[in-house]
Structure 1
């Protein structure tokens, strides 16, 4: 079973909150100090942790105290380019996985800042990436995740925050441009919790966007430990980042097929109603959406205003495909508006196996849950191709493929 972690971010995410959650979850502060010292910048900061209360809840607050307070104002002293940071990390001899993750996070952050300012990532000279505390936050977080042995990493939707902040380039709206660009890269699901503060920092966004395997609801897991990392501000709700650590649900192997419990995933649902479009155009739109990565597309007959006959066109896709699917709908149909929402769906784990028939190979999709195989279906396209090539009915190819699989995998469940 894989060890997994889920970041629950009701008040956002920042680098120091990640460190606090990791230390609270058991990562030794001395271990972080020892490994971070290999970067050769220990004279620029001091790392400490303390237990604090946020709205009555206890959490760990990690501080990265710069050696001289005025350095935070004299930005040019600690501003660095990306190549210098990469050389520093590569020369430190960090654990292999922590090194890879740290380099990836800094690269993604530099790409976002470069896109915002119109320069190449290597040419970016900005303070958020180069600041000493950002280096400690990012590398320290990667060290902590590696120390815990995390194999899969998930993150909740992120709150947008609001208002403005003072940055190196003057007053900026929240979310900052770099954070928005990072969210755009991964099509991160976001929402407003009504708090008009900076809740997601560029460093925190870069950590989540780079390392998270998926954004949405928690994965199916057995929780073994929870780490609580405190933010600096007192907010209307506890300013705490919650790190859930555990193992994925156990799986069971039956007839050489691994069938686990159902899983939850976040999907985007797009819908629009149309009453003035040719059926052929809708058929073409179906193909374009499925080619672009939509999970499913379907229509339903509806009666619209003034008793006009129409169709309700619905698209189901992963959140990162929402933008391209909306583009196709506006381009290929006459719709003037698209409704969209994020939903959770339970899915059965599945795998593809190949079987032999007298006419050729056919792929078969197998799905199951709780150790039982519940669905076995030959792939339509394979059956159709063999039927055409051999001048045999599709139903006959489908029957032969289905029978071939069950000859080798007799049912062991009711």
Structure 2
């Protein structure tokens, strides 16, 4: 039976936290150690011990090995994985994909190629053990899908092989492109390149905890002690529930979107119309204006934008530049989507584009493209409503 995992990374995520949480869920540390050793690392040991963070129990993992100073390339690690005889093919493929995310990010930030990029921290034996161990554990636990909370990265600065850098580190930030992140005042590196790459590969969605039946919960401890909160990764394992109990109300698709809102009482109608047009052209999924009453009794409008998380910065730039706002509220929402496809309907007035949606019960609903309906109505000296009715009948 395949399982669904939810990564509750409220204190960020790292490789050792991920491995510890998966072991806490039931993955066998002896099997993981044997798998990693078979990569040509016979002296590697995986130490697992219970610990507490801010009073909460968790497992901690430590990868022990003799000192080394090797800087590996991607092909070195790939060769180590390929020759391991205690790792099954699915886990090998998963581990190589995770390392691939790191390699692509490192190559970009250092301006080199995948063949030439050096792994520094992520090429060390402990990071190799974390990533390969996670791949073995995910495969053993039969996790087929996963999602996670938006990711806190931390703030401040850290020192890496290339000197002092801001948090998130350059490779971490590059890996996290397209993934929603959240701000925090904690001055520490909460999310590492290894942790970011694990999320990038495993999680197809980011948002709040979805409806699911939880079978087990695993807790993985980070090495740092945070005064503000427990430095833990919590992973919930079980079965994801349909949108409701009955199949007649099941939603086939879900995704995560960002919602941006600002209240305006001193932006002209012309400015708002221009801003809305720019937001739509840039790729906003939806833009709405809602009348509201502002302070001092002034009439205003709430400008709301729904967009993909990767487009937040671009949308905010347009809103700041083309309205009078000085502040934008941001939130992340899980969205249920009806399956839909686009088609062209042939009518006596000519071809009309349409969107066909499948309802939860299986029935279909057709929506005629308004621009086509109005254009054909003008050409045939009739009304857009008549064109729409004709197209809907032909579409059915």
What is the TM-score normalised by the length of structure 2?
0.81
Structure 2 equivalent of residue 32 of structure 1: 32
Retained in 2: the 8 A contact 1:219–1:264?
no
Change (3 A) 1:253 1:51: same
Three-state SS of the structure 2 residue aligned to 1:123 is: coil
**Aligned mates of 1:59, 1:286 — CA distance in 2:** 48
2:196 to 192, 196, 205: 205
RMSD (Å), alpha carbons: 3.7
Three-state SS of the structure 2 residue aligned to 1:137 is: helix
Change (3 A) 1:346 1:164: closer
Q: CA deviation at 1:267?
A: 2.3
Structure 1 equivalent of residue 9 of structure 2: 9
The answer to whether 1:321 aligns with 2:306 is: no
Change (3 A) 1:276 1:266: closer
Change (3 A) 1:163 1:291: closer
Q: CA deviation at 1:379?
A: 1.8
**Aligned mates of 1:396, 1:90 — CA distance in 2:** 65
Structure 2 counterparts to residues 157-236 of structure 1, below 5 A: 157-183=150-176, 185-192=177-184, 194-236=185-227
Structure 2 counterparts to residues 364-403 of structure 1, below 5 A: 364-368=356-360, 377-381=365-369, 384-385=372-373, 388=376, 391=380, 393-399=383-389
**Aligned mates of 2:274, 2:50 — CA distance in 1:** 59
Structure 1 runs not aligned, ≥5 long: 72-76, 408-414
Three-state SS of the structure 2 residue aligned to 1:139 is: helix
Please identify runs of 4+ aligned residues in structure 1 that moved more than 6 A: 261-264, 302-310, 353-357
Deviates more, 1:290-299 or 1:321-330: 321-330
Retained in 2: the 8 A contact 1:4–1:247?
yes
Deviates more, 1:220-229 or 1:99-108: 99-108
Change (3 A) 1:140 1:385: farther
Structure 2 counterparts to residues 88-99 of structure 1, below 5 A: 88-92=80-84, 94-99=87-92
Three-state SS of the structure 1 residue aligned to 2:289 is: strand
**Aligned mates of 2:3, 2:140 — CA distance in 1:** 12
Deviates more, 1:213-222 or 1:156-165: 156-165
Structure 2 runs not aligned, ≥5 long: none
The answer to whether 1:140 aligns with 2:133 is: yes
Q: CA deviation at 1:21?
A: 0.7
Deviation per CA, 1:240-270, whole angstroms, max 9, x where unpaired? 211111112147555xxx7249968452314
Q: CA deviation at 1:177?
A: 2.8
Change (3 A) 1:177 1:261: closer
Deviation per CA, 1:24-43, whole angstroms, max 9, x where unpaired? 10111122123223322233
Retained in 1: the 8 A contact 2:257–2:308?
yes
Structure 2 equivalent of residue 120 of structure 1: 113
**Aligned mates of 1:159, 1:67 — CA distance in 2:** 33
